[in-house]
Structure 1
Amino acid sequence: MKKLKIAVQKSGRLHDESLSLLKDCGINIDNGRDQLKASATNFPLEIYYLRNGDIPQYLKDGVVDCAIIGENILIEKGEGTSIADRLGFSKCRVSLAIPNSFKYESIEDLNGKRIATSYPETLRDYLKQKGIEAELHIISGSVEIAPNIGLADAICDIVSSGSTLFKNNLKEVEVILKSEAVLAVSPNISDNENIILNKLRFRIQSVLQGRDSRYVLLNAPNDKIEDIIKILPGMKSPTLLPLAEEGWSSLHSVVNKDTFWEVIDELKLAGAEGILVCPIEKMIV
């Protein structure tokens, strides 16, 4: 039986969140300790655990059919590889940062400067767009230390919370790109594997839609229902059920988690009472 080959990061936060997503998709992985390859027991899927920086080449060569990978790595090394879905976790940004003592007013201040980075292609493209010429020092790790040891005047690296920059007396001055985990697809994927991929994508999208939504149940007097329905359109329209108490109804609907509190405030003003909010495991539309 054909299996879809998917690559995930060998270790780290992206590894954990990737496996958590697959688990939420109902996929059980027979994974022993320190294995580099494992199979799902209930879905035609084979998982390859790879170094993050190696995954784009495996995709381009067709060794794996797809991968859960940081968009920043894909942009840097995965030319020709397409993104099927954005997954909403492992968010970060690729940014330029300088020492706190550097008097910085604009990107022009980096003309002729030395910049240490693990993202040379991304940085070259950005500097070219801005018309800046700089000397690049390519470093595979611990880029933040470069200004402190006199190797560079600035750095270009990934930033999440900014705490690492702070500890190294650096400040972020330019955001080159924003990144998150994505499902990337090999340009060499076969038709058979693409069928399996679409089944996997259906599950992933259902999980992600559930994560992004909240199920809301509320009670309302019947004369307020029309106003409340305008606030709660739901997936198509809210579910409406009569309560035992005459003149009252219960409404059930779905709210996006990013606008949840604003919607709740509107519902209360419109006359909603007894509002109950539940997480959604999966949502299929």
Structure 2
Amino acid sequence: MAEEAFGEAGTGRLRMAVQKKGRLADETFDLLKRCGLSLSQSKNRLYARVQEMPIDILLVRDDDIPALVAGGASDLGIVGGNVFEEERAGGRLGSRVPLVKPLGFSKCRLCIALPKEDTYSQPADLGGMRIATSYPALTEDWLEREGVKGATTVVMNGAHEIAPRLGVADAVCDIVSTGGTLDANGLKVAETIYRSEALLIGGPLEGEAKKVADALQLRIEGVQRSRDAKYVMLNAPRSAVEAISKVLPAADKPTILELAGTAEKVAVHTVCREAVVWEHLEELKRLGASAILVLDIDKMLA
């Protein structure tokens, strides 16, 4: 397996950029694994090759991915929405990224936070403040939409939480997962200005690369459908089947099977495309269902 073969254009192999390490990388590799794909890495760990499909993976920094896709160096990319939208809001991507598909993982929030002792009730309270952030374009867009007057951004690449204590900013705008870091630094969330998740992004494709991209997207959609989907099996009075079908969330029409030795009860099998919670099971029990089984679905195609 030649090192120079990785990432070359015109070979018929799809090129996809993903984060090299971190939470997004871990969840991206898990997605690819659930799609039935395994990777072999190059010696320099800058590339990986998918064994089951003609796909080359570029292992890079998250904030380089939008530019690699927009510039044509990569056909597809999996990137945090916060990074992608910051690049797009800053006018650095042009129109070469027509594919933007939410993937449902690596979720977080971009929040404006203030010192806990500050009073806050509305966006106008941010007027005249200096806001430390790595996301100046998204922050400034939000300030403009909310009509906040006189606020400015102070661009910092890290350690935003200590900016108010250092006197270089009055507030911060940063990514928040649990809020623990903000709390430890005496800050509180004032506003959530963007809710982020991983995105599949891509430029215009044709030929073999498009066929591979379409096949990959089909697998990804199958994984997404199966994430909350459950296969439900139960026994129920024949007279209660219609009521039971209405309780099951986003269910397909059920398969009804006869039970040996009884005409009054049947077996009901169905796929639910949304999460099945305890309240659903309790309602099924109340309607006369028994032997209720809820099973995970590993893969699902429409």
TM-score w.r.t. structure 2 length? Answer: 0.89
The one of 219, 224, 230 aligned to 2:235: 219
Match of 1:255 in 2: 272
Deviations 1:208-233 (A, max 9, x none): 11112111110112222232233348
CA contact (8 A) 1:234 1:253 kept: no
- Taking the aligned partners of 1:23 and 1:15, their CA distance within structure 2 comes to 12
- Taking the aligned partners of 1:101 and 1:82, their CA distance within structure 2 comes to 44
- Taking the aligned partners of 1:161 and 1:223, their CA distance within structure 2 comes to 47
In structure 1, the gaps of 5 or more residues are: none
Match of 1:272 in 2: 289
- How big is the shift at 1:135? 2.0
- How big is the shift at 1:197? 0.9
Match of 2:209 in 1: 193
CA contact (8 A) 1:231 1:267 kept: yes
- Taking the aligned partners of 1:98 and 1:152, their CA distance within structure 2 comes to 10
Match of 1:282 in 2: 299
Match of 1:126 in 2: 142
CA RMSD of aligned residues (A): 1.7
- Taking the aligned partners of 1:18 and 1:73, their CA distance within structure 2 comes to 16
Match of 2:3 in 1: none
* 1:152 and 2:156 correspond: no
- Taking the aligned partners of 2:136 and 2:289, their CA distance within structure 1 comes to 55
* 1:54 and 2:64 correspond: yes
In structure 2, the gaps of 5 or more residues are: 1-10
CA contact (8 A) 1:232 1:238 kept: no
- Taking the aligned partners of 2:269 and 2:44, their CA distance within structure 1 comes to 46
SS across alignment from 1:252: strand
Matching residue's letter, 1:71: G
SS across alignment from 1:258: coil
- Taking the aligned partners of 1:154 and 1:163, their CA distance within structure 2 comes to 17
Deviations 1:45-95 (A, max 9, x none): 110111011111101101011111111111001443344421111001111
The one of 114, 123, 143 aligned to 2:160: 143
Deviates more, 1:115-124 or 1:138-147: 138-147
Match of 2:111 in 1: 95
The one of 121, 124, 127 aligned to 1:111: 127
Change (3 A) 1:66 1:258: same
- How big is the shift at 1:34? 5.5
- Taking the aligned partners of 1:34 and 1:112, their CA distance within structure 2 comes to 48
TM-score w.r.t. structure 1 length? Answer: 0.94
* 1:176 and 2:193 correspond: yes
The one of 14, 24, 35 aligned to 2:24: 14
* 1:40 and 2:50 correspond: yes
CA contact (8 A) 1:96 1:175 kept: yes
- Taking the aligned partners of 1:196 and 1:241, their CA distance within structure 2 comes to 40
CA contact (8 A) 1:62 1:189 kept: no
Matching residue's letter, 1:281: D
Deviations 1:20-44 (A, max 9, x none): 1001101111125760111111111
